Amino acid sequence: MSPLLRPVGPFDLELVATLHGASFEEAWGVQAIAEIMAMPGAFGLIVSEAAEAGPRPAGFLLARLAAEDCEILSIGVSPGRRRRGLARTLMAEATQLASAAGARRVFLEVAEDNWAARRLYAALGFAPVGRRRNYYRRGQDFVAALTMRRLVS
């Protein structure tokens, strides 16, 4: 069955924070999610998998539109639900929404050591356009972020 997509609504902040916490070591809380969603041009998506008891939220994407650019601020899929095409579904919808809003470019940042995400983004047409040293914290260590960009039509 196909994944189900819907926009993040005002009552989804706790859900998005929970999904973020399941996806990342340094989780964003409800307040951080609320601040992002309150920014001009911000939008969010939730992807769910169909289940007998109803849709089960499995991942999210938060983005922001500014002029001709769209920035993917965060995307995550719960660890037990990865490698099912859910992140690809989120990225495709976000790119389509960005294009419809007049964006010509989509940007994101990814940890240099996140090979699974880097492969996905490359398969979706993203290419590295910059690097930020020591951007992500890994315990006591830091990892660089790659800034990636994709042109949209």
How many structural domains is the chain composed of?
A: 1
* Amino acid at the residue 144: A
User: What is the pLDDT at residue 16?
Assistant: 97
- Is residue 46 a contact partner of residue 63, using CB atoms and an 8 Å limit? no
Q: What percent of the chain has pLDDT over 90?
A: 81
Question: Would you tell me the crossing angle of helices 13-23 and 30-38 to the nearest 10 degrees?
Answer: 120
Report the residue count for the chain.
Answer: 153
E strand spans, the chain: 4-7, 42-49, 56-66, 69-77, 105-111, 127-138, 141-151
The stretch 124-130 carries a mean pLDDT of 97
For 77, other C-beta atoms within 10 Å of its C-beta total: 23
Give residue 145's pLDDT band: very low, low, confident or very high (50, 70, 90): very high
Domain containing 40: what range? Answer: 4-151
Under DSSP, the state recorded for 125 is: T
The CATH number assigned to the domain holding 132 equals: 3.40.630.30
- Who has greater pLDDT, 3 or 52? 3
User: What is the pLDDT at residue 136?
Assistant: 86
Q: Does pLDDT of 121 surpass 90?
A: yes
User: What is the pLDDT at residue 51?
Assistant: 80
Dist CA 4 CA 97 (whole Å): 16
What b/e sequence results for 7-42 when a residue is b if at least 16 CB atoms lie within 10 Å of its CB, and e otherwise?
A: ebeeebbebbbbbbebbeeeebeeebbeebbeeeeb
- Is residue 95 a contact partner of residue 152, using CB atoms and an 8 Å limit? yes
Q: What is the pLDDT of residues 31-59, one digit of tens each?
A: 999 999 999 999 999 999 888 777 889 99
- Is residue 112 a contact partner of residue 143, using CB atoms and an 8 Å limit? yes
List C-alpha distances in Å: 33 to 54, 74, 87, 128.
25, 10, 19, 26
- Who has greater pLDDT, 25 or 108? 108
